[in-house]
Chains A and B, each alone.
Chain A
Amino acid sequence: MYSLQTTDLVHQFSPTDVVLHAINLQVTEGSIYGFLGPNGAGKTTTLRLILGLLKKQQGSISVFGKPFHENRVEILKQVGSMIESPSLYGHLTAFENLSLVQKVYQCPKTRIQEVLNLVGLPDTGKKKASQFSLGMKQRLGIAIALLHNPSLLILDEPTNGLDPNGMIEIRELLKRLNEEKGITIILSSHLLAEIEKLVTHIGIINKGKLLFQGTLGELKMKQQQLLSVVLETSDHEKTVQIIADNHLTSRLEEDKIILPAMSKQAIAKLNQQLVSNGIEVYEIKAIKNDLESIFMDFINN
């Protein structure tokens, strides 16, 4: 079952400015879904549409199997969110910021201190939120999203402004919440490296189009498929001929010959053949396509 599903979600700010093209998100219950894309790709617009912050124009959104707009209040009782920067009242303390949300959710008051401890803000006392560092604000924003024990957590770039240690802490916290409480988490980011150790599923969006959606395993499969070998020699024409004689395909890119993935033995054999034919080999290297380069490949093509 999907905790969240969008069907053909289209959004435009003006007739000529279509920012989302038929987005079909499918977020499996209990998953951690990484929503990836460069700045301006449409991540925040999608998340704002999902939460009803933008008026839906085309397509449908269902959360927990129910249409969002018809069941908005009921659904939002089970959803925690933080969109873009944390929403905090600067003249109030951390406790007061949580307290005013607690009054709406009517969850136990003890929960306020619990979530403050959980995000690493146990004793900010009378300090006003406006005096918090960006990292502290981010933590408090996450605490607000977690206050009512939501079943679905939507976080837009949650580690923005956190130091490396803070990033690790928040990642661990999210992982723990997912594993121990079964909370489905959607988090957006423009950095794959930041979330690849955390997510189970990934959606890649660029220029308003969803380019990939699947499990992390499926994305890693693409990693294997995309391995390649780069060759630089003194005579490209002759080299390409020898490669063809070995029943291999190659292409020339920026004065280098790109070959598909091959075994170490095959690379050694090809090298021997080139040298014995009087070709000088300047460079042979296997390109290991990490997830980041696959991501870049998606958004650049």
Chain B
Amino acid sequence: MTISFVHSFQSEWLKTKRSLALWIVIVGGLFTPAIVTVARIIQYEAVPAIYSSDHFWKSLWQSSWESMALFLLPLGVILTTSLITQIEYKNNTWKQLHTLPLSLTTIFFSKLSVIVVMMMGFFVLFNIGIYMSALIPYLLISGVPYPKNPIPYEYFLQQDLKYFIDCLPIVALQYLISLKYRNFLVPVGTGFIFWVGALAALSWKYGYVIPYTYCMFTYLESGVANKAVMPTVNIHVLACVYFVVITIVSYVLYISKKEKG
């Protein structure tokens, strides 16, 4: 299982080359930082004051995550997961994949791992992007000081980990739906409905039952919690539970499929 998993993972990874999913990860990861950078260059007169602030890094972090946590990240995860999984339906290649000497377990988990690793890649790009959005205005605009406080790595990593865990149930559910249905619109449409539902559920006492709310709650709890009814449970633990349960259900449905291509 172990070595064949590595080979299968390499094979699955190659399939993402030049794919739309890969472009979504790259563009999605750098989009918000690029907007922040451009906005600061345009409003260059206000930039020296921003950079002199004691809370520069946390403030940059919050503004970068605003659109990301509420909008880009959930939708990006929905699209990326669906696109990667649907590569096989789109190219009619499930039959080829299922006649390779790989166990169904290996195929299932290597594909899921590629999605998870791509998500990690997205976080790495986004973090690099945030740093670049701080560095570029400093280099381009005269009179802008380098932020005096050190980068709060620990806080950033903790936040990254929380957001990453919050994404996992979305990955699992989108993966399940994408494996089950040939029509690309089903997983994307379902994901979109859940996302809209999650936005609406933010002010609901039990909004946390919808796993698509977790990224939003994590963002809101770190600054603007008054806009939502914050969950009374640990949503990150709940996200892990959802991820494990949905993945198990997805796996059982996948291996018991009567037609495999």
CB distance from B103 to the nearest CB of A (A): 6
Q: Chain B contacts of A52 at CB under 8 A?
A: 98-99, 260
Q: Which of A75-123 contact B (CB under 8 A)?
A: 76-77, 79, 81, 83-85, 87-92, 96, 99-101, 103-106
A100 touches B92 (CB 8 A): no
The answer to whether residues A91 and B18 also contact, given A76-B101, A100-B11 and a CB cut-off of 8 A, is: yes
* Cβ contacts B220-260/A at 8 Å (1 or 0 each): 00000000000000000000000000000000000000111
Confirm or deny: B10 has a beta carbon within 8 angstroms of a beta carbon on chain A: yes
Whether the Cβ atoms of B11 and A90 lie closer than 8 Å is: no
Per-residue A-contact encoding for B49-90, CB less than 8 Å = 1, 0 else: 000000000000000000000000000000000000001001
In chain B, positions 114-147 with a C-beta closer than 8 Å to chain A are: none
- Which listed residue, A53, A76, A92, A105, touches B261 by the CB 8 Å rule? A53
Contact A88 B260 (CB under 8 A): no
Does B43 belong to the interface (CB within 8 Å)? no
- B2 in the interface (beta carbon within 8 A): no
Nearest Cβ on chain A to B261's Cβ, whole angstroms: 5
Asked whether, in the complex, the Cβ of A89 is within 8 Å of the Cβ of B15, the reply is: yes
B14 located at the interface, meaning its Cβ lies under 8 Å from any Cβ of chain A in the complex:
yes
CA distance A107 to B98 in the complex (A): 18
CB of A69 to closest CB in B, whole Å: 12
Let me know if A36 is at the binding interface, CB within 8 A: no
Q: Is A51 interfacial (CB-CB < 8 Å)?
A: yes
Specify the chain A residue showing the minimal Cβ separation from B19.
Answer: A91
CB-defined contacts of B8 to chain A, threshold 8 Å? 103-104
Tell me whether A87 and B92 are in contact (CB under 8 A): yes
A221 at the interface (CB under 8 A from B): no
Partner of B95, one of A53, A74, A106: A53
Q: Contact: A73 with B14, CB < 8 Å? A: no
Given contacts A55-B258, A85-B92, A104-B8, are A92 and B17 in contact (CB under 8 A)? yes
Chain A CB within 10 Å — which of B7, B19, B103, B261 has the most?
B261
In whole angstroms, what is the CA distance A54 to B260 when docked?
6
In the complex, B93 has a CB within 8 A of chain A: yes
Q: Are B101 and A105 within 8 A (Cβ)?
A: yes
- Which residues of the other chain, A, contact B7 by a CB distance below 8 angstroms? 103-104, 106
CB neighbours (8 Å) of B101 from chain A are 73-74, 76-77, 104-105
Question: Once bound together, how far apart are the Cα atoms of A96 and B91, in whole Å?
Answer: 14
Q: What residues of chain A lie closer than 8 Å to B260, measured between beta carbons?
A: 52-54
The verdict on A4 contacting chain B, using a C-beta distance below 8 Å, is no
Q: Does B102 contact A (CB under 8 A)?
A: yes
CB-CB nearest in chain A for B259: A54
A205 at the A/B interface (Cβ < 8 Å)? no
Q: Give chain B nearest CB distance to A191 CB in angstroms.
A: 23
Q: Does A41 contact B (CB under 8 A)?
A: no
The answer to the question of A202 belonging to the interface, with a C-beta cut-off of 8 Å to chain B, is: no
Residues of B within 8 A of A48 (CB): 95, 261
When distances are taken between beta carbons in the complex, the residues of chain A under 8 Å from B4 are 73, 104
B1-24 with Cβ < 8 A to chain A: 4, 7-8, 10-11, 14-15, 17-19
Q: Which residues of B contact A (CB under 8 A)?
A: 4, 7-8, 10-11, 14-15, 17-19, 87, 90-103, 258-261
> Known contacts A74-B101, A88-B93, A92-B14; can you find 12 more A-B pairs with CB under 8 A?
A51-B99, A53-B259, A54-B259, A83-B95, A83-B99, A83-B261, A85-B92, A90-B90, A100-B14, A103-B8, A104-B8, A104-B11
Residues of A within 8 A of B (CB): 48, 51-55, 72-74, 76-77, 79, 81, 83-85, 87-92, 96, 99-101, 103-106, 144
